[in-house]
Structure 1
Amino acid sequence: MLTYDVDFWSIRQRKNRPKPFELRWRVGERSHSKSFRLKTQAEGRQSQLMDALRKREQFDEETGLPVSELEALTTPTWYEHATAYVLMKWPKAAAKHRASIAETLANVTPVFASSSRGAPKDAVLRKALYSWAFRVVRDAEGNLHPRHQVEEPPADVAEALAWIAEHTYKMTEVARSDRLRAALDAISKKLNGKPAADNTVNRKRMVLSNVLRYAVERTILPTNPLGTVDWTTPERDDEVDFRYVPNPRQAAVLIDAVRQLSARGEHLAAFFGCLYYAAMRPSEIAALREEDCVLPASGWGELVLAGSRPEVGSGWTDDGKSYDDRGLKRRARNATRPVPIPPVLTAMLREHKERYGVADDGRLFRAAEGGRVRSTEYCALWDAARLKALSAKEAKTPLADVPYSLRHAGVSLWINSGVDPVEVARRAGHSLTVLFRFYAKILRGQQDRANTLIEQGLNGG
């Protein structure tokens, strides 16, 4: 109970005691005392308490401390609060989001270190935070704990965790605008110091904001202080660089080069076909099942996308798999997205199904042992296909440097063909905001064409 009812008694001396000078005071109905070796020490402490009372601070009846000291005593450190946040979020968070939370907290926690003396190396501290402090596992009884409390970490990791646990600011200190600004600067950069993509910065900023909002929920902070920080995301152009997006001829040649590489390349040619002709995400292709496909003998077909299998480390999933079974990105768990597919992809998928069959659960694409096709495998095939299909000069450029370039190429083809942007966004599983941000250059070109048509109409054709 907090009260202003505080009285102080004279400092008394008790002889033959190691600390003979006793400071005594009363808060409400309870008496408190503290002994000191020197009288000046007792007088100094009494002066501190009386000064708090003069500043109109209430005192806690149970501890005898003024509110400011009580808050400092009970307020958790950033590291303690961040660990509590991870434990709270873990049960209902998707595996990919768990990894994203850990990545963000591993970025900002070193910024909130109260000292650099004896600090571990950056790489060791990041590993300790990302893989041990902010990764959660179950103990023998099934209870959730930070990984380092259940499994024994390497010696350097254990030392790094012990150091950071002792050297992060209290949450009230973290709330200072200069500290939060430093944290925002940290999440705006990659590990190599280069600017991070806008969507990466926004994602990490949201995690940081949620951690601070949880501090408000726990009554550690009165309000979320992040909204008061004057900070602007560093300028960065997130538009796709269309100089390096393959055109239809190059895309067809690259997919054919994959087919010619090996038996495994033949098996995954249709995988790359889905990336280009249906503009699917790799995680959506990994979850594509026979029942999702309408593949007529000729003409256009249709894929009714219903789920995704994003690749993530086994340490972030509940079942230890290296992927997560999820719904479509940013959609309700049972939502579907129908995507019409041109005859060329319809034929590719029909041939693939007839030649290779499907997995036990109906998936069209699978690893050699039946699991999810791993990114390391299809990226290695893609790298080899680029060298085979492109000229030596082209291969040295970022042209089609990653398989995801095919998705950009597919969306670009739709826009350039005059498809309504709303329909393009729907087929690609984008929001219009994202579509206009990433494909602004192409869409501006379409607006010019639309302006020409309108002008012709105004002029009577």
Structure 2
Amino acid sequence: MLTYDVDIWSIRQRKGRPKPFELRWRVGERAHSRSFKLMPQADGRRSELLAALRKREQFDEQSGLPATEYAALTTPTWYEHATAYVLMKWPKAAAKHRASIAETFATVTPALVSGSRGAPESVVLRKALYGWAFRAVQDKDNALRLRHEVEEPPADIAAALTWIAANTVKMTEVEQSDRLRAALNALSKKLNGMPAADNTVNRKRMVLSNTLRYAVERGILPANPLGRVDWTAPDKDDEVDFRYVPNPEQAAALIDSVRRLSSRGEHMAAFFGCLYYAAMRPSEIAALRAADCTLPATGWGELVLAGSRPEVGSGWTDDGQSFEQRGLKRRARTATRSVPIPPVLTAMLREHKGKYGMADDGRLFRAAQGGRVRSTEYCDLWDAARVKALSAEEAATPLADVPYSLRHAGVSLWINSGVDPVEVARRAGHSLTVLFRFYAKILRGQQDRANELIEKGLSGG
């Protein structure tokens, strides 16, 4: 308990003792003392206590220390606080967010150490932090604990964890601007030292901010210090590079090339069709069920998207699966999104459903053993299809280098076709802010087209 009820008495000398000079003081109902070898030492400590009183500091009754000294003594380190945050957030956090927290802490923690003497190799340290220090598991009693407390880590991992636990700075030092700036600079870079994407930086910065807010909640810090730091992330252009987004002819050729690769490619052709013609995310396609599809014999169909199955490591999910069953991205758990689909995709899905049927739970796309289609599988198919569908010169460029480029191509087609940006954003599951940030170049072109129409109207045309 902190109190202002403090008395500091004179120093007394007790002859014949190794430390003859005794300083005594009282805090509340409890008496305290400390002995010194030399009088100047005892007098110096007495002066420190008197100075704390003059500054109107309270004293802790049990330890006898001024409040500032007591706080410095009991304040946890960054590592201790970060692991406490992980255990607090884990039960209600999505698997992707759990992995994001661990990734952020694995990036930031090496920037918040007091020195580098005896430090492990950076690769080992990152592996220790990401896979062991900031990952929680249940013990045999179903209590949530840090992984390295339940499982036996390899020797190099255990040594790295011991070193980082002993060398991260106190939370009271973390709030200093130079420390925070070092942490922010660390999270703004990729592992290769190149600038990270804006959304990656913002996501990690939010995790850091929430961790500092938790320190305020725990009474460790008086306020979140992040807002005091004058820092902006390095410039990074997040706009899609449309030189490498396939046009409609190239997209159709790539999907057809997937179909002609193998029997598995034939099975997965409609998967890539959903990426392009419906601009769906891979996690949404993985969760697509036959019941979500309206597929008439002719004309346009409709997909009502109700969930997603994002791929994430089994160490981050509660059931040990390599994916997580969840709602649509940045939507309420029960939210749905209707996406009209053109006749070409309607026919592809009808053919797929008729030929391959469905999984036991009604999903249209599944792995050979019935589970979720892994990204490694459809990426391998895509790499092989690029070689066949593109010229050697095109294949040597980043043109359509990843399957996700089909989603960019689909959204770009809608914008270029004159679809209202609000409707484009709705169908793609974007916010307008994200749409304008990533597709700014195309949207600026549509604004020029709108200006021409307005000018024509003003001139009586």
1:363-382 equivalent positions in 2, closer than 5 A:
363-382=363-382
Counterpart of 2:429?
Answer: 429
Counterpart of 1:278?
Answer: 278
Counterpart of 1:197?
Answer: 197
1:66-81 equivalent positions in 2, closer than 5 A:
66-81=66-81
Partners of 1:117 and 1:284 in 2: CA distance: 47
Q: TM-score, normalised by structure 2?
A: 0.98
Counterpart of 2:288?
Answer: 288
How far is 1:21 from its partner? 3.2
- Asked if residue 419 in structure 1 is aligned to residue 413 in structure 2, the reply is no
1:107-186 equivalent positions in 2, closer than 5 A:
107-186=107-186
1:307-322 equivalent positions in 2, closer than 5 A:
307-322=307-322
Counterpart of 2:45?
Answer: 45
How far is 1:117 from its partner? 1.1
Partners of 2:27 and 2:217 in 1: CA distance: 29
Counterpart of 1:216?
Answer: 216
Partners of 1:457 and 1:67 in 2: CA distance: 73
Q: Deviations over 1:178-211 (max 9, x none)?
A: 1111111111110001011000010001000000
Partners of 2:123 and 2:233 in 1: CA distance: 25
The residue matched to 2:279 in structure 1 has which SS? coil
Partners of 1:378 and 1:236 in 2: CA distance: 29
Partners of 1:146 and 1:16 in 2: CA distance: 52
Letter in 2 for 1:217: E
How far is 1:41 from its partner? 3.1
Letter in 2 for 1:99: A
The residue matched to 1:10 in structure 2 has which SS? coil
Partners of 1:61 and 1:318 in 2: CA distance: 45
Q: Relative to structure 2, which stretch is displaced further, 94-103 or 226-235? A: 226-235
Q: Deviations over 1:60-87 (max 9, x none)?
A: 2221110110110111111111111110
Partners of 2:18 and 2:129 in 1: CA distance: 44
Partners of 2:340 and 2:370 in 1: CA distance: 27
Counterpart of 1:442?
Answer: 442
- Asked if residue 338 in structure 1 is aligned to residue 344 in structure 2, the reply is no
Partners of 2:380 and 2:202 in 1: CA distance: 30
Q: Deviations over 1:297-334 (max 9, x none)?
A: 11110000000000000000000000000100000000
How far is 1:121 from its partner? 1.0
Letter in 1 for 2:83: T
Partners of 2:206 and 2:220 in 1: CA distance: 19
Counterpart of 2:255?
Answer: 255
Partners of 2:51 and 2:457 in 1: CA distance: 81
Counterpart of 2:106?
Answer: 106
1:299-310 equivalent positions in 2, closer than 5 A:
299-310=299-310
Letter in 2 for 1:139: D
Partners of 1:292 and 1:17 in 2: CA distance: 86
Partners of 2:278 and 2:8 in 1: CA distance: 79
Letter in 2 for 1:292: D
The residue matched to 2:340 in structure 1 has which SS? strand
- Identity within the alignment, %: 82
Partners of 1:156 and 1:177 in 2: CA distance: 33
Partners of 1:226 and 1:337 in 2: CA distance: 37
Letter in 1 for 2:233: T
Structure 2: runs of 5+ lacking an equivalent: none
Q: Relative to structure 2, which stretch is displaced further, 39-48 or 417-426? A: 39-48
The residue matched to 1:23 in structure 2 has which SS? strand
Q: Deviations over 1:23-69 (max 9, x none)?
A: 21111222111233444433332222222223222212221110110
Partners of 1:69 and 1:63 in 2: CA distance: 10
Letter in 2 for 1:247: N
Partners of 2:331 and 2:5 in 1: CA distance: 57
Structure 1: runs of 5+ lacking an equivalent: none
Q: Relative to structure 2, which stretch is displaced further, 6-15 or 451-460? A: 6-15
Partners of 1:120 and 1:13 in 2: CA distance: 50
How far is 1:15 from its partner? 4.5
How far is 1:14 from its partner? 3.6
